[in-house]
Amino acid sequence: MNFLILDVGTSSMRGILFREDGTMLHTVQKEYQVITLEHGWVEQNPLDFKDSMTEIVKESAAFAAQMEESIDAVALTSQRSSVIPVDREGNHLGNAQMWQDKRTVPLCQAMEEHHREIFRLCGSRVNPVFSGAKMKWMRQNQPELYEKAYKLTVIPDYLVYHMTGNFYTDHTYGSRSLLMNLKTCQWDDRLLELFEVDKEKLCELKAPGSILGYTTKEFSELTGIAEGVPVISAGGDQQCGMLGQGVVKQGQVSLTLGTGGFLLTTCREVPENLDWDVVCNASSEAGAYILEASMLTCTSAMEWYKRNFFREETDFYGKLNDILTEIPAGSHGCLALPYFQGRSTPDWNSDATAVFAGITLNTSREDMLKALLESICMEISNNIASFEKYVPLEKILINGGLSKSEAFNRMQADIYGKPVVRMDNAESTAIGALMVASVTMGRYQNVEEAFAGIRKNAGAKEYKVHEAVHAVYEELRARMNDTYSRLQ
């Protein structure tokens, strides 16, 4: 059985045709970019997503036909909180308000008195990333658009409709909305009241791993894929990435070092002592939960630094290894705070900004670069410490662009104080979606068995902790946290 996995990212969409054992048969990637406006507004033309999906499926179907292979199921995993208003035929009525858009910051600040109540119901405090705040902003500031919209969809809902003709969403996206009750996995009347969203404007909720419909005749004629192919919602990209990394039982953390940094670990039920220093979401494994923490800038902070201070370097990432190896822990006294777009967990401070401190006439651009990377890892370590209030942790499983640096991976282990593991296959998000879809189609009994079957030949490298260096970084992390507190 072959599975076409559609992986909708922030900067591109990929389609990967897999065999059920994880063998990759064909890959297609389509790039796009967001529209950055004033005042922190970030939008995107929804046709970027629809057209990219159409072209990916068309090229994948053509390859399958040429190689006499089948496409037996399509599984979708996606970025999670961007909102697209659509009409009854699924046509977009305006640009997507993207997950990193900050127009809802004042609205969220005005709702702070409801933090505890909202967190108790949905597992997250009010924040500008999740989709419910974006929907409330639309109703208050674009009432005609809100009224005209038949559904307020997130990107995967929009794409599922154009493949199947059905308006469905799954629990992983619902749990990133501030509108779904975490324990019942239903839209919550009190949350809908607080965010002023009409239930009929939301897609019907389904468990992750559900077949949300079948490819329509129209979509078949458009792309060449067979009519009637099951379309499976594998869940959010970070949830799938966690599974693809091997976090299928408690004790491990998946860390994705992408545009932002995302940390996830699994738990079988909502912790009784859950507090709002983490987010609790639905897992891509139906019936399970995840704890999630994040930072809003990771590789994006690196790209900013490179653009401004290393513009002439042709081998920036090659030089990066040398810098991290040669400069000692603490970057000769230079310290950074990595909050270029505010801070998410543990305190959701949208007003936080990036800072470089401890700079003298002897400070070099290399010192500042290492300090920036140290600060990113120390903020991740803050979030790991939050996780350990709820579940015991043994190791950190990493993926994403920055994990390609050997020196950076060694530094991560020393800062986190736990072994860091990088698997050879970087396609963890797509692999996780494949795992979920394979269970749905009966090829494996559960995600743990699917991981063992699909990734049985995957190599991995483990980076050990140097305890003396870790002790130095613990002191630096305390200094960073103190500096942040004094600046607020």
Give residue 426's pLDDT: 67
Determine which of 19-23, 27-31, 274-278, 281-285 has the lowest per-residue pLDDT on average: 274-278
Give residue 259's pLDDT: 83
Q: Is 128 exposed, middle or buried (0-12, 13-18, 19+ CB in 10 A)?
A: buried
Q: What is the pTM of this model?
A: 0.86
HEC readout, the chain: CEEEEEEECCCEEEEEEEECCCCEEEEEEEECCCEECHHHCEEECHHHHHHHHHHHHHHHHHHHHHCCCCCCEEEEEECCCCEEEECCCCCECCCEECCCCCCCHHHHHHCHHHHHHHHHHHCCCCCCCCHHHHHHHHHHHCHHHHHHCCEEEEHHHHHHHHHHCCCEEEHHHHCCCCCEECCCCEECHHHHHHHCCCHHHCCEEECCCCEEEECCHHHHHHHCCCCCCEEEEEEEHHHHHHHHHCCCCCCEEEEEECCCEEEEEEECCCCCCCCCCCEEEECCCCCCEEEEEEECCCHHHHHHHHHHHCCCCCCHHHHHHHHHHHCCCCHHHCEEECCECEECCCCCECCCCCEEECCCCCCCHHHHHHHHHHHHHHHHHHHHHHHCCCCCCCEEEEECHHHHCHHHHHHHHHHHCCCEEEECCCCHHHHHHHHHHHHHCCCCCCHHHHHHHHCCCCCEEEECCCHHHHHHHHHHHHHHHHHHHHHC
Band (pLDDT 50/70/90 cuts) for residue 150 is very high
Q: Mean of the pLDDT values across residues 253-278? A: 90
349 within 8 A of 109, measured Cβ to Cβ = no
**pLDDT score of 338 more than 90:** yes
Give residue 473's pLDDT: 98
Q: Mean of the pLDDT values across residues 245-260? A: 89
Q: Mean of the pLDDT values across residues 257-276? A: 90
Give residue 400's pLDDT: 78
pLDDT digits (tens, 9 = 90+) for 298-319: 989 999 999 999 988 888 888 8
Which neighbouring-strand residues pair with 349? Answer: 343
Band (pLDDT 50/70/90 cuts) for residue 425 is low
Q: Is 67 exposed, middle or buried (0-12, 13-18, 19+ CB in 10 A)?
A: exposed
Q: Mean of the pLDDT values across residues 395-403? A: 86
